[in-house]
């Protein structure tokens, strides 16, 4: 066999191996606890999952200007994306304005959302402290945290948002009724 024929046979074998179907048992492995920890970043309303760190309103103002104002506008209003400030007292009106200050039920889940989904188009790129700072700034814009305020894993769960009690579960969607065995 010539070297040209050998190359053709080798190429055909390689192509055959590449084209072979991959079955689930042919690849992958269980995730390690360290890998799971990297993705297990959700924060619950009671603050479970909040990381160690802190941020001030002053720090948050600068981080917001650098990363958020392009979409949400200066001071959380007037941007091309959702308005973040104002709207208190409008939910029961004919023109409700849903913002962090008027609608959002828990300060802890604001941190969670910013940490996982913001800023566009680089979600998760803010540090823990920068995320706390932006959270403090947005809460300050809504009069919930004072202008010289600071938030952290201990103080954030203690903040009572204006609409915390505004969410009334619909009895029709009670999980105990929806998922019970018949």
Cα 43 from Cα 115, distance rounded (Å) = 10
> Each residue of 83-134: pLDDT tens digit?
999 999 999 999 999 999 999 999 999 999 999 999 999 999 999 999 999 9
- Listing DSSP states for 163-182 in one string gives TGGG----GGG-HHHHT---
Query: Which pLDDT band, with edges at 50, 70 and 90, does 43 fall under?
Result: very high
Cα 31 from Cα 23, distance rounded (Å) = 18
Cα 34 from Cα 138, distance rounded (Å) = 32
Query: Which pLDDT band, with edges at 50, 70 and 90, does 40 fall under?
Result: confident
Query: Which pLDDT band, with edges at 50, 70 and 90, does 172 fall under?
Result: confident
Helices 128-141/107-117 angle, 10° precision: 130
Q: Helices (H), strands (E): how many in the chain?
A: 7, 2
Backbone φ, ψ for residue 152 (5° rounding) = -155, -175
> Each residue of 135-150: pLDDT tens digit?
999 999 999 999 999 9
Which residue in 1, 121, 145, 123 sits closest to 60, CA to CA?
145
């Amino acid at each position: 066999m010539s070297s040209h024929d050998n190359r053709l046979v080798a190429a055909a074998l390689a192509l055959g191996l590449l084209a072979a179907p991959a079955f689930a048992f042919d690849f992958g492995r269980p995730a390690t606890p360290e890998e799971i920890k990297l993705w297990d970043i959700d924060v619950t309303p009671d603050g479970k999952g909040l990381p160690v760190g802190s941020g001030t309103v002053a720090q948050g103002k600068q981080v917001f200007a650098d990363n958020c104002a392009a979409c949400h506008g200066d001071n959380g209003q007037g941007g091309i994306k959702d308005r973040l400030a104002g709207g208190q007292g409008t939910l029961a009106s004919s023109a409700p304005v849903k913002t962090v200050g008027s609608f959002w039920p828990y300060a802890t889940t604001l941190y969670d959302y910013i940490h996982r989904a913001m800023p566009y188009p680089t979600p998760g790129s803010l540090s823990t402290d920068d995320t706390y700072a932006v959270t403090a700034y947005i809460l300050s814009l809504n009069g919930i945290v004072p202008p010289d305020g600071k938030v952290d894993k201990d103080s954030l769960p203690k903040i009572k948002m204006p609409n915390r009690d505004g969410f009334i579960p619909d009895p029709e969607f009670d999980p105990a009724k929806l998922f019970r065995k018949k």
